[in-house]
Structure 1
């Protein structure tokens, strides 16, 4: 059995703003970014 737990945000506000600036400079239609940590749990019962 596998369970996926969602963790805290992976990007700081500084990193998000820096990435958005790069995307805008490249003329990419990106307006928001979100990334989070994930924890995968597996159970191996016998």
Structure 2
């Protein structure tokens, strides 16, 4: 499970950085790309249930 978490964390960090750069430069497109990248990096909540 940790193997999957590392790429997700890296992608989330890249998205955060891209979003921040977009905000600093006033580039709405880059900011939106960063937000979208962060959303894609979130792990899926669907999975086996422990019931």
Select the structure of larger CA radius of gyration: 1
TM-score, structure 1 as length reference: 0.37
Q: Higher relative contact order by CA 8 Å / sep ≥ 6: 1 or 2?
A: 1
Q: Which has the higher strand share?
A: 1
Structure (1 or 2) with the greater helix fraction: 2
TM-score, normalised by the number of residues in structure 2: 0.34
